[in-house]
């Protein structure tokens, strides 16, 4: 056995009893270590031959450890403030953490303030986290008053929901929080790792909110209270995060949709079923018209398919066996019942359409196809319906009924790479047209930790060809390519375009998928140049994904201030007084004649309020007209930022606006 260690790429002598605490004592940013690829506490004793790498508190793993350690502090604070509280689980999540508790009464805002204050005291005490290996029986004894923890002990090694946070494998560990005297003041079943001390949490954390929850996410289980929080390496980073959250709330498309009268979510329709108001309808129409034309220019043929079909179609496609939980239940059509109650005709089960591809396959199969027809590109704005769980419905970005700009390319296998490149180029150019230009790509495959899940269909060879083809095309773009093991559709791997918005959030936008399986299931063929019958490859692509979701993303990206070509109202004319109303209407007619969407504010509001109203509506251009303007045949040209050009001749003002629309200016 080697008598050395490899530490941060350098070989050093091994000494019995060594820990990483000694190795990184001079580096306060190192809060844990990778030991042979596994993240571990700094005080874990090292063995000869170990390979050790530092984990910085600012790294992804370091932040996870910081946040999970803070979750333990919150749990300790809750149990100190509310004796008798039972512990659930407390994992880290994106930008923060949560911890679930069983308490007698829901937490109030005042309770959350008290919890945060108690956490601050625990942090300042500098309690240390100590990992202790325990047997199953010892764990049961020490956790005798924690029924949820006892359940997790029984689930050890089973991979059950929630267990992985607490139980890493066959070995149970309890983390003890000890005070400066070395006394155990609190403990929790946990696999770790944790920070060496609560002092490293510092003042970069906050308790943010609470909500109702259920043990293991199952409503049939015990009701719990979930406390959320966030933690960062410094107070400045916490403030920056809080500012990002506040900005995200200001940009919330649900709030802006109501303020700008774009769309709403009537309870009478049901969850996840939005309606577009006239102004939102303008945005939706302009987007659809533009994207429809772009598809035609890119060689697609526009088709249309119904909203329902016999459910046997989805058995053929494979969606019901592999995607059925996301589809609405069947309903029976043409069932005949006699007056005496006897069923004289059983009828046929139908389904709401959850995807367009099976119907496009029927269009392909409607007549013979030749290699000269390929690539055959079919496109439609097809409305689909998916039975999303109520807990994930969110405004326009997660709905139950939506329109996909869905297309399917049927190509010879040797043409697949070229078609995927064509589609990716198309997608990226389209997103740039709408003002999104910061991307990376994600490759979703069927492999999870090297194993194949049974949710996928098709041969190993087909999956390997499809995955390699997508990977090679994605890499050729020069964009960052991030793996997504296990994220593929049941019928094939997928590239998704991940776009960052104006405040740095990432949204999944366009997708392209390569599919050998549906052509086989629908027995699709074409006549090759040598006279043989061959099977095409099917390539699925969606540029927006969902037009509803894309509108929600754009609303937040632009904070409701859409570029002039998309704005529901592109110019508002504001007369300084009633006597200038007719002059403003004349200008409006000139703009309308050039296709500009324009309004004239002839309301009873005073002039200053009309200007404020125009600003609140986020209209790109406000044209103001008074006596001097009328006498000069001009207007005052006011922009969103409050700047203003006075005395602009009418014809020049019209041309400015028309040019900005034609150039899709981001004003």
Pair 622, 571: CB distance under 8 Å: yes
Supply the DSSP symbol for 107.
P
Task: Tell me if residue 68 is catalytic.
Answer: no
- Give the three-state DSSP class for 492: strand
The 8-class DSSP code of residue 398 comes to B
Place of tokens 């059950």: 160
Q: How far is Cα 560 from Cα 389, in angstroms, rounded to an integer?
A: 28
What is d(CA 543, CA 428) in angstroms, rounded to the nearest whole number? 9
Active-site pick, 149, 494, 521, 638: 494
Contact 76, 116 (CB under 8 A): no
Handedness of CA 264, 269, 271, 276 (dihedral sign): negative
404, 462, 498, 570: the catalytic one is: 404
**DSSP state, 370?**
B
Closest C-alpha to 463, from 490, 442, 483: 490
Report helix, strand or coil for 213.
Answer: strand
- 386, 422, 549, 610: which is the annotated catalytic residue? 386
CA distance 665 to 523: 47
SS3 sequence of 574-619:
EECCHHHHHHHHHHHHHHHHCCCCEEECCCCCCHHHHHHHHHHCCC
Whether 406 is a known active-site residue: answer: yes
10 Å Cβ neighbour count for 289? 10
- Alpha-carbon distance of 86 to 77, in angstroms, equals 13
What's the CA gap between 246 and 571, in Å, rounded? Answer: 29
Terminal Cα-to-Cα distance of the chain (whole angstroms) = 67
CA–CA separation, 91 vs 499, rounded Å? 27
Distance CA 21, CA 31 (A): 9
Contacts 24+ apart (CB under 8 A), 437-440: 438/499, 438/500, 439/479, 439/497, 439/498, 439/499, 439/500, 440/479, 440/480, 440/481, 440/482, 440/498
Residues 76, 357, 513, 618: which is the catalytic one? 357
Of the candidates 408, 543, 549, 638, the residue annotated as catalytic is 408
Distance in angstroms (rounded) separating the CA atoms of residues 35 and 55: 10
Q: Residue 237, Cβ neighbours under 10 Å: how many? A: 15
Q: Considering Cα of 452, then 454, then 459, then 465, what sign does the dihedral take?
A: negative
Give the position of tokens 């504010």: 601
523 catalytic, yes or no? no
Distances (CA, A) of 199 to 69, 522, 523, 568: 11, 63, 65, 53
Residue 508 known to be catalytic: no
Does 422 show up as a binding residue in the annotation? no
Q: Give the length of the chain.
A: 667
Annotated ligand binding at 295? The verdict is no
Residues 511, 515, 518, CA angle at the centre, nearest 5°?
A: 120
Among candidate residues 406, 501, 601, 629, the one labeled active-site is 406
Task: Return the structure tokens found at 95.
Answer: 């930008």
589, two tokens: 């007619």
Classified as helix, coil or strand, 520 is helix
Considering only CA atoms, which of 107, 112, 118, 71 is closest in space to residue 91?
71
Q: In sequence order, which ranges of 143-277 are alpha helices (DSSP H)? A: 147-154, 163-166, 235-250, 253-259
- Coil, helix or strand at residue 263: strand
| Partners of 216 in the β-ladder | none
Distance CA 375, CA 539 (A): 10
Residue 86: active-site member:
no
User: Tokens for 381?
Assistant: 């704005």
Active site residue 180: no
User: Is 190 known as a binding-site position?
Assistant: no
Answer yes or no: 494 catalytic.
yes
Q: Please enumerate, by residue number, every residue annotated as part of a binding site.
A: 357, 408, 540
* Catalytic annotation, residues: 357, 386, 404, 406, 408, 494, 540
Q: Please enumerate, by residue number, every residue annotated as part of a binding site for Zn(2+).
A: 357, 408, 540
């Amino acid at each position: 056995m080697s008598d050395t260690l490899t530490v941060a790429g350098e070989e050093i002598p091994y000494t019995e009893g060594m820990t990483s605490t000694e190795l990184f004592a001079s580096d306060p940013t190192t809060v844990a270590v990778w030991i042979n690829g596994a993240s571990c506490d700094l005080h874990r004793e090292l063995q000869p031959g170990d390979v050790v790498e530092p984990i910085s508190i600012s790294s992804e793993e370091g932040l996870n450890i910081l946040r999970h350690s803070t979750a333990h502090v919150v749990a300790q604070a809750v149990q100190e403030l509310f004796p008798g509280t039972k512990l659930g689980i407390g994992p880290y999540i994106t930008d923060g953490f949560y911890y679930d508790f069983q308490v007698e009464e829901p937490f109030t805002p005042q309770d959350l303030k008290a919890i945060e204050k108690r956490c601050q005291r625990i942090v300042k005490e500098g309690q240390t986290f100590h990992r202790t290996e325990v047997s199953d029986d010892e764990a049961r004894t020490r956790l005798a008053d924690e029924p949820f923890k006892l359940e997790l002990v029984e689930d050890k090694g089973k991979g059950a929901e929630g267990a992985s946070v607490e139980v890493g494998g066959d070995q149970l560990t309890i983390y003890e929080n000890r005070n400066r005297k070395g006394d155990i003041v609190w403990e929790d079943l946990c696999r770790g790792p944790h920070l060496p001390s609560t002092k490293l949490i510092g003042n970069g954390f906050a308790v943010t909110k609470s909500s109702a929850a259920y043990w293991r996410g199952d409503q049939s289980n015990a009701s719990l209270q979930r406390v959320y929080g966030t933690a960062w390496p410094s107070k400045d980073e916490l403030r920056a995060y809080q500012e990002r959250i506040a900005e995200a709330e200001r940009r919330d498309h649900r709030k802006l949709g109501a303020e700008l009268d774009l769309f709403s979510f009537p309870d009478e329709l049901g969850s996840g079923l939005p309606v577009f108001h006239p102004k939102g309808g303008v945005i939706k129409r302009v987007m659809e018209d533009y994207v429809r034309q772009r598809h035609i220019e890119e060689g697609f043929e526009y088709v249309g398919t119904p909203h329902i079909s016999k459910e046997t179609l989805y058995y053929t496609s494979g969606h019901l066996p592999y995607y059925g939980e996301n589809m609405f239940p069947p309903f029976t059509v043409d069932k005949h019942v006699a007056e005496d109650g006897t069923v004289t005709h059983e009828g046929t089960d139908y389904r709401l359409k959850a995807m367009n591809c099976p119907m496009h396959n029927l269009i392909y199969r409607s007549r013979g196809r030749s290699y000269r027809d390929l690539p055959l590109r079919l496109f439609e704005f097809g409305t689909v319906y998916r039975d999303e769980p109520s807990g994930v419905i969110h405004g326009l970005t997660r709905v139950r009924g939506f329109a996909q700009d869905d297309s399917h390319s049927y190509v010879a296998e040797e043409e697949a790479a070229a078609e995927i490149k064509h589609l990716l180029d198309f997608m990226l150019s389209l997103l740039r047209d709408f003002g999104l230009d910061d991307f990376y790509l994600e490759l979703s495959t069927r492999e999870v930790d090297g194993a194949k899940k049974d949710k996928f269909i098709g041969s190993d060879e087909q999956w390997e060809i499809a995955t390699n083809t997508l990977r090679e095309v994605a890499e050729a773009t020069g964009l960052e390519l991030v793996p997504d093991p296990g994220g593929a559709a049941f019928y094939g791997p997928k590239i998704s375009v991940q776009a960052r918005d104006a405040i740095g959030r990432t949204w999944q936008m366009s997708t392209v998928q390569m599919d050998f399986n549906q052509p086989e299931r629908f027995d699709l063929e074409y006549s090759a140049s040598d006279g043989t019958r061959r099977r095409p490859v099917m390539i699925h692509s969606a540029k927006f994904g969902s037009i509803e979701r894309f509108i929600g993303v754009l609303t937040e990206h632009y904070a409701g201030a859409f570029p002039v070509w998309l704005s529901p109202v592109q110019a508002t004319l504001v007369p300084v007084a009633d006597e200038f109303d007719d002059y403003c209407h004349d200008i409006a007619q000139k703009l309308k004649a050039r296709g500009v969407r324009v309004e004239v504010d002839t309301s009873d509001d005073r002039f200053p309020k009309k200007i404020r109203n125009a600003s609140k509506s986020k209209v790109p251009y406000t044209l103001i007209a008074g006596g001097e303007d009328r006498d000069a045949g001009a207007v005052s040209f006011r922009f969103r930022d409050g700047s203003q050009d006075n005395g602009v001749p009418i014809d020049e003002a019209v041309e400015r606006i028309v040019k900005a629309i034609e150039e899709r200016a981001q004003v």
